Amino acid sequence: MADDMMRSEHYRRLAEHYDDNLNYNLQLVRRFVERIQGVLRLDCADLVADIGCGTGLYTKELAELVGLVHPVLCIDSSPEMLEQLPRSPNLQGLVATAEQVASRAVKLPVDRFDAIIIQGAIHHMERQGEIIRGLSDLLAPAGRLLIVTSPTINQPLFRAAVQRFQELQQDSESIRHFMATAGLSARVELVDFEIVIPKVRYLSMVKSRYMSVLSGFSDAEIDEGIREIDLRFPEEVLTYTDTSALIVGVTN
């Protein structure tokens, strides 16, 4: 319960400036969305739900890329995040948790989805196997469940944050196993992107706790971490590889 309250407060504070942490490289957002489409192979008539959508930055890009004719159901437990959704007929917000959706504890606008996406949020969820099984029951024939995680961390973070990330590291193979147990044909695809970002911009993102793993650090610890990053990485422009695991399950 305390962890849930901490995350809720973290995203409440982050919501207003969340997109600022991503807008430094909209080309990267576009490239990542193209990889998601390469895995999901969405049709313009597909019904799509995005669980843990945040402010909808990636969701809006995906809807426009595919030319979806039905609005994407943007689901997030943070009302403050959903308030930042772009004003677009392509997006429909719903305040709910993945658990509520999977157990059908909330009313959904449709009975079945052609694709359900969870990007960068599965590590916050308890009873992952139950959630994945419940979401698989919401898929239409040939429906796809896509879960995106970060299996490794290459960002130039301070050591304590890296250690905490490793403790919470999500095992993509366990997610694939949960999908298979739920009756989905599942596979894992690793995607690498080179990130080039001015250090001053990156440090401001750390200051704003742009990653949820930073939410548990105090202001003093964040300030000390920023000093550590500045000393360990003296270059003015930071370059690193960001790795994501795309785990997709398809109904048989």
DSSP letter at 149? Answer: E
The domain in which residue 121 lies consists of 2-251
DSSP 82-137: HTTS-S-TTEEEEE--HHHHHTT-S--SSS-EEEEEEES-GGG-SSHHHHHHHHHT
Q: What are the pLDDT digits (tens) for 175-212? A: 999 999 999 999 999 999 999 999 999 999 999 898 88
CATH number, position 157: 3.40.50.150
Asked whether residue 5 carries a pLDDT value surpassing 60, the answer given is no
Query: How would residue 167 be classed by pLDDT, with cut points 50, 70 and 90?
Result: confident
Q: Report d(CA 252, CA 249) in Å as an integer.
A: 9
pLDDT range class, residue 24, cuts 50, 70, 90: low
Average pLDDT over residues 206-233: 94
**Confidence band, pLDDT 50/70/90 cuts, at residue 126:** confident
- Highest-scoring range by mean pLDDT, 14-18, 23-27, 131-135, 239-243: 131-135
Is 111 a residue whose pLDDT tops 70?
yes
**Cα distances (angstroms) measured from residue 221 to each of 74, 214, 215:** 34, 10, 11
Q: Is the alpha carbon torsion for 83, 248, 126, 159 positive or negative?
A: negative
Number of domains in the chain: 1
* The pLDDT value given to residue 43: 97
Give me 93's structure tokens: 């917000």
- Say if pTM beats, i.e. exceeds, 0.85: yes
Span 216-233, mean pLDDT? 96
In whole angstroms, give the CA distance from residue 13 to residue 214.
Answer: 13
